[in-house]
Amino acid sequence: MPQATPSDAIHDFVEARRDDLARYLSDLIRARTVNPPGDEYLAAPVLTDFCQARGIPYETFEKEKGRTNVVARLGAGRPRILVPCHFDVVPAGSGWETDPFEPLERDGRIYGRGAKDNKGPLAAMMVAAEYLKAHEADLAGQLLLVGCADEEAGSRLGMKYLLEECGVEAEMAIVPDAGSEMREIDVGEKGALFLKVRALGRQAHGSTPERGASALWPMIAFLERIRDWRPAVPEGAEGAGLFTPPTLNVGTIHAGTVANIVPGECEAQLDLRYPPGPDPEAILAHLRSELAAVADAHEGVRMDLEVLSNQPPTLVDASNPMVEAIRRHTRAVTGTAAEPIGQSGATVAKFLILRGIPAVGFQPGPEGVEHVAGEWTDLDGLARFAEVMAKVVLDLLGA
């Protein structure tokens, strides 16, 4: 009778723990870790109790009370693979047919806030970690499985804190928080410029607007000037073909108080996303030039632009060993190799890369259910994700 291969053994191990997988995810969903306020300490025991029961060493870190991060370690030495999942979730919002914090299992799916984003991937990684712990002697390096705080609000109390203040280090990272159904590997993320534009004019009575200087009309003129403008992407720019074109969104605009007062101040906030290639300083220079032209055409009005956040684009080479390992094992497990993509949104992969840690995004779960009512994930997809990730870690760290 033929012997089982290691691949068969991982598959059988995961299949035998489907009930555990569902229980881990259900326990995580019941932990109300809505951010704000976060309260990640409610979910942390799901991971720490799991580690204690299996002899997996871990540490907890809190920059603020109750904002708990857990770092579990399997194996020893270098290189290290970091897999950061996050405990926190967005508010439930309206439109749910069931209690968003009481998981419902039906027809192979689990419904609840955080089922896909990001408690499902964490539950799957716990199953993968149990297999890897049992085969720790096969690891010539270390896996860091992290349950993070504060991902939904910028990671100041989570992954950024762990990297900047807690000594967490790695040579590579796989972030289970991008894509869907294990079809894509996020190898690049657009740059993001968040900008505040302000116009200062002069208030007057609404019946005599000529005595004032409205701050609103110049803002409208400026927004019209840039409405169809987008920064040019040089031909042959790095990552060409992976990204959609640059985008510009006017997220907010505020002016005035009541109808019978000429508004003396107007403020708009912009979100500009761009792939590798455009120079952010050239983008800002162009916008300031347009702003100056509008201000010159409106007597009595001053206009300025403030950079609220400037996150450069990031890109990991598609030939990176992590990408190759994920593609190889998704093909073996699902029949289809995951494809490299560039995305417009941002994950913790961006600031991992900016700290010198190559990072890619890779995730199970259905498309488009994050942050909506009725969020769900499928247990079969989570099981396959656990299987793929166990194989990827063994591939990259195998002795």
pLDDT digits (tens, 9 = 90+) for 40-90: 999 999 999 999 999 999 999 999 999 999 999 999 999 999 999 999 999
Q: What is the CATH number of the domain that holds 323?
A: 3.40.630.10
Phi and psi torsions of 81, nearest 5°: -105, 125
Q: Are residues 125 and 141 in the same domain?
A: yes
Q: Are residues 65 and 143 in the same domain?
A: yes
Tokens 């259900």, residue located:
26
Q: Is residue 1 part of a domain?
A: no
Q: Is residue 337 part of a domain?
A: yes
Q: Are residues 199 and 286 in the same domain?
A: yes
pLDDT for 316-363, tens place per residue?
Answer: 998 999 999 999 999 999 999 999 999 998 899 998 999 999 999 999
pLDDT at position 4 is: 47
Q: Is residue 39 part of a domain?
A: yes
**DSSP code per residue over 299-362:** TT-EEEEEEEEEE--EE--TTSHHHHHHHHHHHHHHSS--EEEEESS--HHHHHHHTT--EEE-
pLDDT for 248-274, tens place per residue?
Answer: 999 999 999 999 999 999 999 999 999
Q: What is the mean pLDDT of residues 119-124?
A: 98
Q: Is residue 89 part of a domain?
A: yes
Q: Are residues 61 and 95 in the same domain?
A: yes
Residue type, 117: D
Phi and psi torsions of 376, nearest 5°: -150, 165
pLDDT at position 2 is: 39
Report whether pLDDT(1) > 80.
no
pLDDT at position 301 is: 97
Which amino acids are annotated catalytic?
A: 88, 151
End-to-end CA separation in angstroms for the chain? 28
Q: Which of 251, 281, 310 is the last residue of a domain?
A: 310
Q: Is residue 135 part of a domain?
A: yes
pLDDT interval class at 179 (50, 70, 90)? confident
Q: What is the mean pLDDT of residues 144-160?
A: 97
pLDDT for 302-319, tens place per residue?
Answer: 999 999 999 999 999 989
Q: Are residues 219 and 281 in the same domain?
A: yes
Q: Is residue 23 part of a domain?
A: yes
Q: Are residues 125 and 235 in the same domain?
A: no
Contact 69, 147 (CB under 8 A): yes
pLDDT at position 399 is: 67
Tokens 């991992």, residue located:
352
Kindly state the DSSP code that residue 139 receives in the 8-state scheme: B
Q: Which of 284, 310, 336 is the last residue of a domain?
A: 310
Kindly report the number of other CB atoms within 10 A of residue 327's CB atom. Answer: 18
Residue type, 288: R
Which secondary structure element, helix H or strand E, spans residue 200, and what is its range? Answer: strand 191-200
Q: Are residues 145 and 224 in the same domain?
A: no
Kindly state the DSSP code that residue 244 receives in the 8-state scheme: P
Q: How many residues does the chain have?
A: 399
**How many structural domains compose the chain?**
2
DSSP-derived pairing of the beta strands 109-111 and 376-378: antiparallel
Q: Is residue 349 part of a domain?
A: yes
Quote the CA–CA distance of 28 and 43 in Å, as a whole number.
6
pLDDT for 183-219, tens place per residue?
Answer: 999 999 999 999 999 999 999 999 999 999 999 999 9
Q: Are residues 339 and 371 in the same domain?
A: yes
Q: Is residue 320 part of a domain?
A: yes
Q: What is the CATH number of the domain that holds 281?
A: 3.30.70.360
pLDDT at position 240 is: 87
Q: Are residues 96 and 233 in the same domain?
A: no
Q: Are residues 137 and 28 in the same domain?
A: yes
Q: Are residues 249 and 141 in the same domain?
A: no
pLDDT for 210-252, tens place per residue?
Answer: 999 999 999 999 999 999 999 999 998 999 899 999 999 999 9
Q: Which of 282, 310, 338 is the last residue of a domain?
A: 310
Does 79 sit behind a cis peptide bond, omega within 30 degrees of 0 on the bond before it? yes
What residues contact 375, with CB distance under 8 A and at least 6 apart?
A: 100, 111, 112, 113, 114, 115, 116, 117, 369
Phi and psi torsions of 355, nearest 5°: -95, 10
pLDDT at position 117 is: 96
**What is the residue range of 233's domain?**
191-310
Say whether 399 sits in a helix, a strand or coil.
Answer: coil
State CA 320 to chain mean position distance: 20
CA geometry: angle 342, 348, 350, nearest 5 deg: 50
- Give the number of C-alpha atoms closer than 13 A to the C-alpha of residue 364, restricted to the C-beta side: 28
Residue 360, beta-bridge partner list: 174
Q: Are residues 208 and 276 in the same domain?
A: yes
